[in-house]
């Protein structure tokens, strides 16, 4: 891939990272409960996909209106990987450096949400108690769990990226 395409994808990754970092900071400042909001998650997903598409379209424009599947996916992946990395670092810093007490509150809210979900699905109390015990032993804000979350989310977004790249690719009819 040409250097300019990688540079463009990196730039869009930085923009995405700044956008997601801003969402994290705003959610932290306005109301910590926003981190558990489905609407914030949907907004984040839409932002990630939108920046990925914009990155692909920018790369396609640089290539004269044509882009291979590989170049489209690479452009998307670089943008999303960098953006999510920046967001993960900011999230980690908020809850492990700036305000560890909020991390405890958010962890308790996540446990409550898990219990409600399990109760709604009719899980037996023994299973709920076991799940709560495991969640209480686990620090969701540790560097290991943050890296795991990053890897899982990047994998999911990459699968979406494969679809986006397949839809947005446009082969040059002059190339053999």
Identify the pLDDT of residue 166.
Answer: 92
Provide CB contacts within 8 A for 49, sequence distance 6+. Answer: 157, 160, 164
Show the tokens assigned to 153: 């989310």
Q: pLDDT tens digits for the chain (176 residues)?
A: 467 889 999 999 999 999 999 999 998 999 888 888 889 899 999 999 999 999 999 999 988 888 889 999 999 999 999 999 999 999 999 988 888 888 888 888 887 877 777 777 777 777 777 777 777 777 788 888 899 999 999 999 999 999 999 999 887 677 65
Provide CB contacts within 8 A for 57, sequence distance 6+. Answer: 168
**Angular region, 153: left φ>0, alpha ψ -120 to 50, beta rest:** alpha
Tell me how far apart the alpha carbons of residues 74 and 72 are, in angstroms, rounded to a whole number. 5
Identify the pLDDT of residue 140.
Answer: 81
Tell me how far apart the alpha carbons of residues 46 and 38 are, in angstroms, rounded to a whole number. 12
Buried b (16+ CB within 10 A) or exposed e, 17-30: bebbbebbeebbee
Identify the pLDDT of residue 142.
Answer: 83
Q: Environment class of residue 45 by beta-carbon count within 10 Å: exposed (0-12), middle (13-18) or buried (19+)?
A: middle
pTM, entire model: 0.84
96 contacts 141 by C-beta, under 8 angstroms: yes
Strand, helix or coil for residue 127: helix
Identify the pLDDT of residue 32.
Answer: 85
Helix axes 69-93, 143-168, angle to 10 degrees: 150
Identify the pLDDT of residue 176.
Answer: 53
């Amino acid at each position: 891939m040409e250097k300019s395409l990688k540079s463009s994808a990196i730039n869009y990754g930085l923009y995405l990272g700044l956008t997601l970092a801003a969402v994290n900071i705003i959610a932290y400042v306005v109301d910590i409960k926003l981190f558990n909001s489905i609407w914030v998650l949907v907004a984040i997903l839409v932002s990630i996909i939108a920046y990925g598409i914009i990155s692909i379209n920018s790369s396609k424009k640089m290539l004269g209106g044509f882009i291979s599947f590989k170049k489209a996916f690479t452009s998307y992946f670089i943008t999303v990987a960098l953006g999510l990395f920046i967001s993960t670092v900011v999230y980690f810093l908020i809850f492990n450096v700036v305000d560890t007490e909020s991390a405890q509150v958010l962890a308790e809210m996540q446990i409550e949400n898990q219990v409600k979900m399990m109760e709604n699905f009719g899980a037996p109390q023994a299973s709920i108690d076991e799940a709560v015990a495991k969640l209480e032993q686990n620090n969701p804000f540790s560097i290991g769990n943050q890296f795991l979350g990053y890897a899982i989310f990047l994998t999911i977004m990459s699968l979406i990226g494969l679809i986006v790249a397949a839809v947005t690719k446009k082969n040059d009819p002059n190339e053999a």
